[in-house]
Every structure is written in C-alpha cells, then in structure tokens.
Copies of this chain bind each other. A is one copy, B any other.
Amino acid sequence: MEVEGMSGIEKKAAAMAAAEEEEVGRKAAAAGDVGLKELSRKLNDFAKERDWEQYHSPRNLLLAMIAEVGELSELFMWKGEVHKGLADWDDAEKEHLGEELADVLLYLVRLSDICGVDLGDAATRKIVKNAVKYPAPSKEDA
C-alpha cells in the first residue's frame, strides 16, 4: 500500500479498510469459501518472495496454464465416459485431480492479475450476460 502523502486520518482509514477486508476474508474462509482476490494476493506474494515476477509475463503464464490443462486432460484421457461424482475413481486419483484443477486455477488467477483483469468481477458479469443470452424457461414460460 502506498502511504506517502497520506494524512493521519487517511492512513487510519486505510488501515481500518485493510483490517476489515482481512476480517471478511477470514470469515469467508471460516464459512468455507475462498475468494479470487484472496488467491490473487497470495500468488502475488508468492512470486514476489521468490523473485519470480520476472517470469510472469502474460504469454508465459498462459502457456503454463495450458500445460496444466494438459495434465488435467491426462487424468481423463483413457477413461471413456466419466460420471458425475467419479464414483469409481480411487482416493489417490481424486487427490491428483484436485491438484490439477487447482494448478489450472492458480495460473488462471495469476494470468488475470498480470493482465489487469478483475477475474471475480468478470465472472460475475459473464454469468449475468449468459442469463440474458439464455433465459431460464421457467421465466419465459410462466
């Protein structure tokens, strides 16, 4: 946070806002949800601490995400049709699947951040746009 030039009151307000946001994050986590900005911040810290920001250009991150999509596809490739809930997958496979899904998400969140896109906002707006494009029949037919 850039604090230079802030008055004492502004600093206090900023600190309170940050604390409030953190509190919301904690509660969201306690309620079992994980926020996209929260992930974005964690990944930013992670890269900064390791001096990896130099590698995180948009196309590098996109290709890294595609590599993870490939690993995700590998889990599904010889299985024929797979059913909801993956009843016949063993625990190791499900654990592995969680990791690959997470890897795709983490690069997607990081790519969005590096491109200056607010991913949560974009997703929320896309759902609204889709709802307009594909109206629910119940609302149509009522």
Contact = CB atoms under 8 A, between A and B. Distances in A.
Each complex incorporates copies of this chain amounting to: 4
Interface string A59-81: 11011111111111110111111
B73 A120 contact: no
B123 A106 contact: yes
Interface in A25-45: 25, 27-28, 30-39, 42-43
Given A94-B117, A115-B97, A117-B98, A67 B73 contact: yes
A39 B78 contact: no
B28 A33 contact: yes
A102 interface: yes
Interface in A74-93: 74, 76-86
A121 interface: yes
Contacts of A71: 67, 70
A140 to B, nearest CB: 10
